[in-house]
Structures are given as C-alpha cells and as structure tokens.
Amino acid sequence: MSHPLVFDRALLRARQARALALGPEPFLLERAAEDLSERLLTVKRRFETAVDLGTPTDLLSRALAGHPGIGTLVRAAPLAAGLAASERTIVADEEALPFANGSLDLVVSALALQMVNDLPGAFAQVRRALKPDGLFLAALIGGGSLAELREAFAIAESETTGGVSPRVAPFADVRDMGGLLQRAGFALPVTDVDRVVVRYGSPFTLMNELRRMGAGNVLAERRRVPLRRATLLRAAEIYAERFSDADGRVRATFEIVWLSGWVPHESQQKPLRPGSAKMRLADALGTMEKPAGETP
C-alpha cells in the first residue's frame, strides 16, 4: 500500500450502520446538501449523467431530485442497508470507484470523502470517470472541525492516563485542496470554507449527535481499550470550562470545505502565455515606466 492507513474503513461502515439504526442526525448534511444544490444552480449547463458519491444518507440525492441541470442521478451509497429497490442506487466504495473512464458528466459528494485514506487517489479516480468538461463538486469535513473536542480530550487523557491517543480525525485543510485537485488533473480548481458553530446543552449531547452522524473515532491508530470513565468525565468538564457561553451551553465548530474542479476541455478559459499581453502594465496603471535603479 503506497498511502498511509489513517482510517479503519470497516469500522467506519459499522459506525455508519449504527447511525442509521439509531436514526441519523441530519443537520450538517442537510446544510451541505442544500448548499450544493444552490451551487449547481449557478452552473448554466446540463449534466446528463451524474453520480452522488458516498454521501452517508439519501439527503443529497433527494435535494437534487428534479434539479433542472441534471438528467439521470445515480447514488453510489456506502451501505446497502435501507436502500429501496426503486432507487437508482449502487453500493460503492469511494476508494475503488466502479465507473468506466469518461462515463460521467458530474460527480457530487457531501461529507463523505474526508474518511478516504488516499484522497489524491480518490480524486484521480473521479477525474478518470468524468468526461471532458465534466464537473466534480464536493463538500468535506475540514481540519478545523471539532477543535474544542480534540483539545478537551487531549488534556483529559494526559491528566488521567499520562498519555494522549488520537480521538478526533485529522481532516484535510482547505489550503491543500486546490493543489490536490490540480495533481489529480482537474482544471479551474476552486475551494472555500463554510464554518458552522453549533451550541449544545452539554458535551455529552454533542458526543451523542456525533454517534448519530456515524462520526465516532475510526482512526487506525486509535487506542484499542475502552475509554476510561474518568477520562470521559474529565474531558466533559474541561470542555464546559473552556468552551461554554454565559448561558452554560457549549460551542462546537464544524468546518465544511467546498471544492470544485473541471476535467480539461478545449472550450474552457485558459491562462495567457507569458509575453502574450497586448498592453504594458505601466500603461494599464497610468504610470510612467523608469529604468531599473533610477530614482523617481
């Protein structure tokens, strides 16, 4: 394996199945699905064949149902559980896409690809599956997410066990996304961040909602013994001390990283070649050009 094993993908699927059984917490995914639908409306073209890649529930597929810019939408679901026979759905792994090269016009994904071990490889697979001038539009959980919970657990575990184990995943940073898209062969990459601060009655309410998002600890290097009760209680205490408002409610930060890229096509805008400008910068700025070293 040429890439590091960061996430235990089998455990991830088990956690996602548990979330479905508990009744998934949808607020973050609903926000991403609505935003993605609105972003697509600004793209004035039609995509005949589209895939919803890895989105944990059918929220995105439902948000895009009847979208004027999409012909056929197929959901590539992470789990077979709960799928209706009438849905245009396949079960697929985001790390091994089952689509033929150049077979798709659009690939969208909401809050799924942050748990892929080889993100550059996944982007490259999406790039190969898309036709020329095809669009990739995705939302991922970003590196600034749950910083409060990460800090509280690190301090609590250090105090109660004398060491620290990874508890919150090291998600990708928005500053890296544009480069990864270009590395995968996408043109016109665009990235931005939506930061969402949510308030909870207690840290335990947050932890329960994370369970219902399927967002428990699935790090490959996680500690394999159960979390000590003393560590959990101390983490909740530190969280409340450091990240609560005047009314006693605690804050949790979620970061949604948005990215888009196009498969290169001759119709797309291209940067000018060096030296091809038809006007000097000095003329455009209305200034007088002076030889180097000459004082004004």
List the pLDDT tens digit at each of the 296 positions of the chain.
567 788 888 988 998 899 988 888 899 999 999 999 999 999 989 999 999 999 999 999 999 999 999 999 999 998 887 676 556 899 999 999 999 999 999 999 999 999 999 999 999 999 999 999 999 999 999 988 999 999 999 999 999 988 777 767 777 788 889 899 999 999 999 999 999 999 999 999 999 999 999 887 888 777 777 789 999 999 999 999 999 999 999 999 999 999 999 999 877 766 556 555 566 655 655 666 565 555 55
Confidence at residue 286, expressed as pLDDT on a 0 to 100 scale: 61
Q: Cα(292)–Cα(17) distance, rounded to whole angstroms? A: 67
Residue identified by tokens 């798709």 is: 104
What are the φ and ψ backbone dihedral angles of 153, each rounded to 5 degrees? -70, -40
Residue identified by tokens 């919970």 is: 149
Q: Cα(36)–Cα(29) distance, rounded to whole angstroms? A: 10
Q: Do residues 137 and 40 make contact, with C-beta atoms less than 8 angstroms apart? A: yes
DSSP string, 202-218: SHHHHHHHHHHTT-S--
Residue of 63, 53, 31 whose CA lies nearest to 109:
53
Confidence at residue 210, expressed as pLDDT on a 0 to 100 scale: 92
What are the φ and ψ backbone dihedral angles of 169, each rounded to 5 degrees? -65, 145
SS3 label, residue 178: helix
pLDDT tens readout for residues 113-147: 999 999 999 999 999 999 999 999 999 999 889 99
Contacts of 290 (CB under 8 A, 6+ apart): 296
98-109 residues labelled b (16+ CB within 10 A) or e (exposed): ebeeeebbbbbb
Residue 221, CA distances (Å) to 6, 54, 164, 240 in order: 7, 23, 12, 27
Q: Cα(228)–Cα(289) distance, rounded to whole angstroms? A: 70
pTM: 0.85
User: Other CB atoms closer than 10 Å to residue 120's CB: what's the count?
Assistant: 15
Q: How far, in whole angstroms, is CA 201 from its chain's centroid?
A: 26
Confidence at residue 250, expressed as pLDDT on a 0 to 100 scale: 97
Confidence at residue 254, expressed as pLDDT on a 0 to 100 scale: 95
pLDDT tens readout for residues 150-160: 999 999 999 99
Q: Cα(6)–Cα(172) distance, rounded to whole angstroms? A: 12
Which amino acid is it at 153?
A: F
Q: Which two tokens stand for residue 105?
A: 């016009």
Secondary structure E strands in the chain = 47-53, 70-77, 89-91, 104-110, 130-141, 187-200, 250-262
